[in-house]
Amino acid sequence: MALDWAVRNKRIVAAAVAPVALGAAAVVAVAVSEPSAPSTAPTTLTASVTECHDMVSIAVGGRNDSPRPGTHAMLLDADGNPLPAASSTDFSSPWVDEVVNAPRDDVPEGSYSAVYVEYPANMSSYDDAVEAGVDNAETVMQAIRQACPDTKFAVVGYSEGADVARRVAMEIGNQESAEDGSYEIVDPDSVVGVVILADAGRTAGEGPFPGAEDEFRNPDGFDLAYQSGRNSASGSGSLPGTSGSFGALDGKVASFCSEGDLTCSAPENIALLQLAVNVGRQLNVDALERDGLTPETALDVATVLGRIAMAAFADIQSQENWMQSDETFLDVLIKVSDPSYEPAVRDVASTGTDGEITSGELIDLTYLPAKLRNEVIGFIADNENTLEVALSDPYQQTLGPDTGHHFDYWRDSDPENGKPLTSAQYAAAWLTHLAKQAESGELDKAEAESTAPQLVVSSKPIDPAPLPPTTDGDVEKAAAGATTTTTSSTPASPTRAAASSSASPAPVPPVPAAAPAPSPAAPAPSPAAPSPLPAVEPLPAVEPLPTVEPTTVAPTTAESSAPGTTTPAATTTPTTTPVPQP
């Protein structure tokens, strides 16, 4: 078959690189797993979502740092059924407690609470565990929102839990509302803050507060500066496929990354290590770490590597001109090893089935030498920093008990260089600030202002014959409602106070009875108006007044239409004076 011939040509290149790439991935994958967190003691207390709070933090711990049914008392929904979470009074995390429990002492009892999401939190299948964490976190938030519609949320995650927190925040922030204004998960406005410690989805060059007005200094609405400069960890997250915008939550996210923590500050050009991470996300790393290379774990490794290799060949086959492209086989391996990869489908009818070698396939043969050369060059360029990272002992650099930068978030303060708090302390201060705002109702006011319709000034003409005011308050209302439009049947010219009130929705205070400041063009004072009269019955219509002798006041340049034109004096009958003059 012609198709088989083309595939064999492409596999010549792939076979030259596959053993090296996949072999390195299998060796490195075990080294990037994080250590287990200390276990926690069981408790007997039980909490329910019907105990409403002004604010609840949804906390997600790292590997093995999660409550377990049967060991910890689980949160109950409104019907008394257990939810996949436990109150922070029933479960304690050695890492996240410092952040999520900080607000308790600064708000009245019962105003604030924190719950820990239950999820696998293991490395037997990383992505399955994270997706379970996302589903459970959203389930808990929906149950709380249903029982307590006014509750505000914060989402906090560390390490493996940081990946859960990022995905939850992205899904909530990028929702589209239904026709009735509701949301499938929760309203993004109800989520007031997100804390991600060791953000594996971080983008290169991104500041700690993505989407904020100053992404290097502070999240929106919190004045305390995280740092004085514009520092950002080098590199990017080790899971680039999970990066993206937080949508409506932009500006309400704190994404922390410590320099040297390879989970979030991985250097560029470490293609083999990136492949290792993707492979590790599909391996049972827990079993490899516990048992070593046994027949069972070896079969697991072989199965994952074989699946990735077959996916790579299928991806190449789906591309009509892969031999002529700049994509290397290592690029293909990295692409297809991502658990979120979806295979491309090629139109079989376009490949031909007559068994003849097509001209396009013959052209592919002419590209074979150049393709092999590009494979070698590309492999070297894509792994420019791989050897350096590998020789630096990436496990100790990231996860070493005393040296690992994965734990810097509790010790990374640097007051001498403008960073007075650790990342964990700053997150705790921010959550405390949010909890205080939730307790005082400030967050509700901010939400109402953000969703309230904007005021619109109507151009509809106002009734030219309003009732004369009878009190000082009525004077203010009348002044605020005055219009600058004049008609030929109203001889009185609008006063400057009336003109000002029509240009701004704010009410104009009554003008004091003292003599007004003279106009530059008319120094003579205008006739004094009588005091407001008691209310009278309105007339059906105001007849034009008879012509009266004009005053000697010279017209102003702003109100006259032609030189020499005089302005008739306003008649001071009670039925035709919309705003009393001073």
- One DSSP character per residue, 376-426 reads HHHHHHHTTTHHHHHHT-HHHHHH-TTT-GGGGGGT--BGGGTB-S-HHHH
- Please list, residue by residue across 315-349, b when 16 or more beta carbons sit within 10 angstroms of its beta carbon and e when fewer do: bbbeeeebbeeeebbbbbbbbbbbeeeeeeeeeee
Q: Which domains does the chain have, with CATH numbers?
A: 2-33+292-384 (no CATH), 55-262+418-447 (3.40.50.1820)
State the pLDDT at residue 252: 98
Residues belonging to the chain: 582
The tens digit of pLDDT for each residue in 57-111 reads 999 999 999 999 999 999 999 999 999 999 999 999 999 999 999 999 999 999 9
CA–CA dist 56, 73 (Å, integer): 18
Which tokens is 579 given?
Answer: 């705003």
Mean of per-residue pLDDT scores for the chain: 76
CA–CA dist 73, 68 (Å, integer): 8
CA–CA dist 344, 218 (Å, integer): 42
Q: Please choose, from the candidates 537, 424, 413, the residue with its C-alpha nearest in 3D space to the C-alpha of residue 470.
A: 537
Strand 55-60 versus strand 85-87 pairing type:
unpaired
- Is 0.95 surpassed by the pTM of this model? no
Residue 247 has pLDDT above 90, yes or no: yes
């929106």: which residue's tokens? 220
Q: Classify burial at 49, counting beta carbons within 10 Å of its beta carbon; exposed 0-12, middle 13-18, buried 19 or more.
A: buried
CA–CA dist 314, 237 (Å, integer): 28
Q: Please choose, from the candidates 339, 329, 340, the residue with its C-alpha nearest in 3D space to the C-alpha of residue 279.
A: 339
Residue 191 has pLDDT above 70, yes or no: yes
Minimum mean pLDDT range among 124-133, 152-161, 195-204, 481-490: 481-490
Residue 17 has pLDDT above 50, yes or no: no
Residue 4 has pLDDT above 80, yes or no: no
Q: Are 543 and 536 in contact (CB under 8 A)?
A: no
Q: Please choose, from the candidates 502, 536, 500, 525, the residue with its C-alpha nearest in 3D space to the C-alpha of residue 582.
A: 525
> Angle at which helices 160-173 and 126-147 pack, to 10 degrees?
50
Between 238 and 579, the more confident residue is: 238
| C-alpha separations of 310 from 19, 191, 261, 270, 374 in Å | 13, 43, 32, 23, 22
Q: Please choose, from the candidates 527, 516, 529, the residue with its C-alpha nearest in 3D space to the C-alpha of residue 574.
A: 529
